[in-house]
Structure 1
């Protein structure tokens, strides 16, 4: 799963975050697992990898139990 940063699931997550309603509120690993039909641990791993690559960022306030992210601004 981690060998290809351009994995189809990760691209779907980024496309989903580009939607105006999702971009404003962000999403959680639970959201990803339900919408994309992947196990919760896999959803968390996808979000952590995208965050490590600088494509997502955690919101200012999160709880330890939640993995919530928003999309970073596109580089200019």
Structure 2
């Protein structure tokens, strides 16, 4: 069975942390550099995952400040 792309793993991990309450609304996510180290990857999959999470309403990104859990993340059934 093929392994999911790394950006999908990052998305799944962040969404799971939000759903579990480990990450709460307005919490700051780790920096891109920290996530690169955590996932042992280049910056591309991390940035791509963050872009998708923002498009889906899970996070907001503030230029020069970082990425934060959205004040009202999507319903539990969404991904």
Answer whether TM exceeds 0.5 for this pair: yes
Q: Give the deviation of 1:40 after TM superposition.
A: 0.8
Q: Give the deviation of 1:16 after TM superposition.
A: 4.3
RMSD of Structure 2 on Structure 1 (CA): 2.8
Task: Tell me, yes or no, if structure 1 residue 35 matches structure 2 residue 33.
Answer: no
Could you tell me whether the CA contact under 8 Å between 2:28 and 2:69 is conserved in 1? no
**Corresponding position of 1:74:** 73
Aligned pair in 2 of structure 1 residues 24, 71: CA closer, same or farther (>3 Å)? closer
Provide the rounded CA distance (Å) in 2 between the counterparts of 1:44 and 1:69. Answer: 10
Deviations 1:5-30 (A, max 9, x none): xx222111333454259x63332222
* The structure with more radius of gyration: 2
Aligned pair in 2 of structure 1 residues 8, 30: CA closer, same or farther (>3 Å)? same
- If the length of structure 1 is used for normalisation, what is the TM-score? 0.59
Q: Aligned runs of 1:1-76 on 2, under 5 Å?
A: 7-16=8-17, 18-20=21-23, 24-59=27-62, 62-63=63-64, 68-72=66-70, 73-75=72-74
- The gaps in structure 2 that reach 5 residues or longer are none
